[in-house]
């Protein structure tokens, strides 16, 4: 079922996905090359940032670790179930005997 969904998504949206990613890469490169982009003030004139650069980097690392933990909280048990599902199909008892 998931294979058919994956194939349908890739067949219908692969080109669109490539164009969207290319657009975002071009925008990011443009912002990196544009010299005044790093000096834009997002707050009021003369206002100082609420967090220091170290605090921002710490928050980004914490968010990355949180996303990774949530991803693996689901992926690891699913991977274990996928590789050991024959144990759940055992014919002679819960953990022994020959598998079907």
Note the pLDDT tens digit of each residue in 36-47.
887 888 888 888
HSE toward the beta carbon, residue 36, CA cutoff 13 A: 3
pLDDT at 94: 54
- What's the whole-model pTM score? 0.45
Following DSSP, what letter does each residue of 29-49 receive, concatenated? HHHHH-TTGGG---SSTTPPP
Q: Map tokens 């949206």 to a residue.
A: 13
Per-residue pLDDT, averaged over 78-92, amounts to 67
Is residue 98 within 8 A of residue 91, CB to CB? The reply is yes
């Amino acid at each position: 079922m998931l294979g058919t969904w994956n194939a349908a998504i890739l067949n219908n949206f692969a080109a669109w996905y490539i164009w969207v990613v290319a657009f975002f890469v071009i925008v990011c490169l443009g912002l990196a090359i544009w010299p005044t982009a790093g000096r834009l003030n997002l707050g009021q004139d003369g206002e100082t940032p609420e967090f220091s650069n170290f605090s921002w980097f710490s928050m980004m690392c914490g968010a990355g670790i949180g996303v990774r933990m949530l991803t693996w909280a689901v992926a690891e048990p699913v991977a274990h179930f996928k590789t050991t599902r024959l144990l759940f199909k055992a014919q002679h008892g819960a953990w022994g005997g020959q598998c079907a």
